Structure 1
Amino acid sequence: MKDNTTIPTPLANRVLAVRREAAQTTASGIYLPDSHKEKPSMADVKAVGPDVKDIAVGDTIVFKEYALTELNVGGTNYIVLKSDEVLATI
Structure 2
Amino acid sequence: MTATVIRPVAIKIDEDIKARVKRLAEARHRTAHWLMREAITQYVEREEKREAFRQDTLKAWEEYRSTGLHVTADEADAWLAELEQGNDIEPPECHV
Bin the TM-score by the shorter chain.
under 0.3
Using the size of structure 1 for normalisation, the TM-score is 0.20
Higher strand share: 1
Task: State which structure, 1 or 2, has the greater radius of gyration over its C-alpha atoms.
Answer: 2
Higher helix share: 2
